[in-house]
């Protein structure tokens, strides 16, 4: 009778190879996936640092229904993120109208924007959201809304090139 000699790897060698293979696979996944996760985490955190609000106490935020223009004064606080623009939202009779604006506003300042309100019969609320750019990722932050919009009929004639149209 002949003995058949079976040669194989021992259990110790198999275990070491499986552990090494797992470590290599995790390293590859870490290198490939982590930059994407880091970009996402950085942009979600950055909205907390985008201090943007609509200023109503100074009387610049109002609606001129004669010229069909909504005047919005935006106040920025101590912004330490890359705000590449804003999105304005006007709620009228249950409809939401969006006005995008790519604009840089320096920290701790006030800026006035003019929105075209042609076709709007009443304004329920108006909002603004900062648009944050983090690397290649662009993210809209949550909106800040104001419910009471004063009337400001009788404004000086506004240059039509300054008026934002809805998107």
Q: What is the pLDDT of residue 44?
A: 53
Which element (helix H / strand E) includes 24? helix 11-46
User: 3-state class of 65 per DSSP?
Assistant: coil
C-alpha–C-alpha distance, residues 56 and 74, integer Å = 9
| Residue 77 and residue 51 in contact, taking contact as beta carbons nearer than 8 Å | yes
Q: Give residues with Cβ within 8 angstroms of 114, minimum separation 6.
A: 69, 70, 71, 72, 158, 162, 163, 164
pTM: 0.66
- pLDDT (tens place) for every residue of the chain, 167 residues total: 566 666 666 888 888 999 999 999 999 988 888 877 766 655 455 677 777 888 887 778 888 888 888 888 888 877 777 778 888 888 888 888 888 888 777 778 888 888 888 888 888 888 888 888 777 777 788 888 887 788 887 667 777 777 777 76
Distance CA 92, CA 116 (A): 13
Q: Residue 138 and residue 47: Cα distance in Å, rounded?
A: 11
DSSP structure class, residue 4: P
Please name each of the domains of the chain with its CATH number: 47-164 (2.60.40.1930)
Q: Which residues contact 69 (CB under 8 A, 6 or more apart)?
A: 63, 114, 115, 116, 117, 155, 158, 163
């Amino acid at each position: 009778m002949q003995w058949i000699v079976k040669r194989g790897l021992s259990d110790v060698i198999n275990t070491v190879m499986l552990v090494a293979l797992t470590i290599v696979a995790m390293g590859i996944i870490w290198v490939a996936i982590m930059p994407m996760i880091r970009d996402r985490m950085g942009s979600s955190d950055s909205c907390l640092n985008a201090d943007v609000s609509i200023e109503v106490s100074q009387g610049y935020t109002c609606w001129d229904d004669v010229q069909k223009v909504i005047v919005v004064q935006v106040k920025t606080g101590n912004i330490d993120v890359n705000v590449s623009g804003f999105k304005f939202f006007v709620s009228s009779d249950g409809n939401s109208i969006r006005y995008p604006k790519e604009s840089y506003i320096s920290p701790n300042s006030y800026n006035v924007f003019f929105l075209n309100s042609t076709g709007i019969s009443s304004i329920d609320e108006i909002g603004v959201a900062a648009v944050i750019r983090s690397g290649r990722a662009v993210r809209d932050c949550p909106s800040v809304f104001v419910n009471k919009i004063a009337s400001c009929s009788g404004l000086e004639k506004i240059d039509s090139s300054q008026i934002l149209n809805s998107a």
